[in-house]
Amino acid sequence: MGERIMALADDGASGSVEAHPPGTRAMGIVRWALVGFMALLAAAAWSKGFDSDAHAGAVAARYQCPMHPSVPQRAPGSCPICGMDLVKVADAPAGAARTGPSAPEQGTVPTGLAAVKIEPGRAQLAGVRTEKVTRQRLKPQIRATGAVAVDDSSTTAVDAHVSGWIAGSRLLQVGERVERGQVLAAIAGPEIQTTQEIFLAATQREKQQSQPAARALGRSLVTGEGNALRRLGIADRDIQALARRGRPFDAVPVRSPVSGFVARKDVVAGQYVQPGSELFEIVDLRRVWVMASVPESDVARLKTGQRAQFTVAALPGETFAGQVQFLYPALDAQTRTLQARMELDNPALELRPGMSGDMRIEVLAAETLTVPVEALVDTGEAQYVFLARGGGRYQPRGVRPGSSDGNRVQILEGLSEGDRVVTASSFLVDSESRLRAAIEAFGPTPPDDETQDTLAQHTR
């Protein structure tokens, strides 16, 4: 009985206590390991956020050293490494994302460039030259494309004054040279015949009259204003030839009233013409026009009376000087240019209508800051120069250029009088500046001069 009770007690005890499944202890260890790993990740993220905030503050800095851009400052002063004056850089708000390069602010370090140091001996061998920024009075020029055109005042139209047919088989062609009085064509017809007969009859009567009044009337019909042939455009030499001949011509000639070239021919042999019909157009090229197409941006500086020079590729070494004598009132809607006219004497007929060339119009400018045109680096998006700081140090500086006379360019912003800029071998300084900026993009470089010289050696 006792043994049975003990057995039941043992069974009850075993049923009330559940046994742990296998692997429980291993899962607990893994769980605590994951908790620890997540804590480490949170700490790393916090540390990275702190560094990002510090970097954002650096981006928002407004002043930096030209030699050590990795040392930004919030206020102007001196570089703590080399003592150089800090320069203002383009502002960027903290945390702002950069979407791409932009044009540099005048007087700042352009994007993608950095100050460099080139040892003086190497700079001399490379031909690096510098010059001071000076204040000068420029004579800037407006450059435009010019084209030779016919002077409208030297164009003469030859019209028919009588009805008839164009006689002859050979007429002058376009482009042929004619002299004043040269025969262009001949006209035949009943009106011409009748007028000649009336003239011959009046001539005979004038010879036969004995009364002074009658002779004066006859002379007027023959040689004066009453001469019908003269009113029909017949030349005096042809009228005199008719009087000597004593009988009508089959056709009377049409002569050129001026010397020049046949610019247009509107008749052919055998064509019937009436009074007012245009037969030929004659142009005298001893004086021509040069029409310059001036860009709209330069119209405000353009005035009549300004001196101008015109050159054409067909006449190398020749320059034709004159003045702007007329400005057309409206711009060309398609080319956005204004026509400016210059008149030139052309006695040797060197300038031919249709020739094109380069027109340079002089514009007097006030005294202003200038640098040689070789000192300005223009990439299309940015314009800058390189300042010579002494000791082989060169600093890029964004500028705003103005007008130019071909030798010097006006500087509106970014430089001061007395600054020294690179005027020769700018490409060498520019390439090293870009290389320096590219290297600094991966992190700050040591500030000592030995590192600067080593950088210059890599570009040899």
Q: Which candidate, 394, 392, 385, places its Cα nearest to that of 453?
A: 392
Whether residue 146 is found in the same domain as residue 159: no
Looking at the domain assignment, is residue 331 inside a domain? yes
* CB distance 394 to 122 below 8 Å: no
Looking at the domain assignment, is residue 451 inside a domain? yes
349-365 mean pLDDT: 90
Whether residue 351 is found in the same domain as residue 439: no
pLDDT at 406: 75
Q: Which candidate, 285, 282, 288, 251, places its Cα nearest to that of 266?
A: 282
Q: Which candidate, 120, 123, 109, 117, places its Cα nearest to that of 66?
A: 109
Whether residue 237 is found in the same domain as residue 271: yes
Q: How many domains does the chain have?
A: 3
11 pLDDT tier (thresholds 50, 70, 90)? very low
Q: Dump the DSSP string for 21-33.
A: PTTHHHHHHHHHH
Q: Which residues contact 273 (CB under 8 A, 6 or more apart)?
A: 160, 163, 164, 165, 166, 187, 267, 279
Looking at the domain assignment, is residue 414 inside a domain? yes
Q: Dump the DSSP string for 270-303.
A: T-EE-TT-EEEEEE-TTEEEEEEEEEGGGGGG--
pLDDT at 384: 92
**3-state class (DSSP) for residue 377:** strand
Of 33-47, 192-206, 278-292, give the lowest mean pLDDT range. 33-47
Looking at the domain assignment, is residue 267 inside a domain? yes
pLDDT above 70 coverage of the chain, percent? 71
What are the angstrom distances between the C-alpha of 431 and each of 3, 113, 341, 428? 104, 9, 45, 5
Whether residue 449 is found in the same domain as residue 303: no
pLDDT at 33: 65
pLDDT at 286: 93
Instruction: Inform me whether the pLDDT recorded for 15 exceeds 50.
Output: no
Whether residue 328 is found in the same domain as residue 267: no
Cα distance between the two ends of the chain: 110
326 pLDDT tier (thresholds 50, 70, 90)? very high
Looking at the domain assignment, is residue 84 inside a domain? no
Highest mean pLDDT among 72-81, 116-125, 436-445: 116-125
Whether residue 268 is found in the same domain as residue 296: no
Of 330, 362, 394, which marks where a domain is finished? 362
At 387, which amino acid appears?
A: L
pLDDT at 111: 81
pLDDT at 37: 60
Whether residue 230 is found in the same domain as residue 340: no
Whether residue 266 is found in the same domain as residue 348: no
407-427 mean pLDDT: 88
Looking at the domain assignment, is residue 13 inside a domain? no
Domain span holding position 304: 141-151+285-362
At 38, which amino acid appears?
A: M
Instruction: Inform me whether the pLDDT recorded for 225 exceeds 60.
Output: no
Whether residue 341 is found in the same domain as residue 381: no
Whether residue 234 is found in the same domain as residue 254: yes
Whether residue 129 is found in the same domain as residue 193: no
319 pLDDT tier (thresholds 50, 70, 90)? very high
Looking at the domain assignment, is residue 59 inside a domain? no
At 86, which amino acid appears?
A: L
Q: What is the CATH number of the domain that holds 352?
A: 2.40.30.170
pLDDT at 226: 45
345 pLDDT tier (thresholds 50, 70, 90)? very high
* CB distance 155 to 282 below 8 Å: yes
Whether residue 237 is found in the same domain as residue 333: no
Q: Helix 190-208 crosses helix 236-245 at what angle (to 10 degrees)?
A: 70
pTM recorded for the entire structure:
0.53
Of 323-327, 394-398, 450-454, give the lowest mean pLDDT range. 450-454
d(CA 307, CA 326): 12
175-201 mean pLDDT: 89
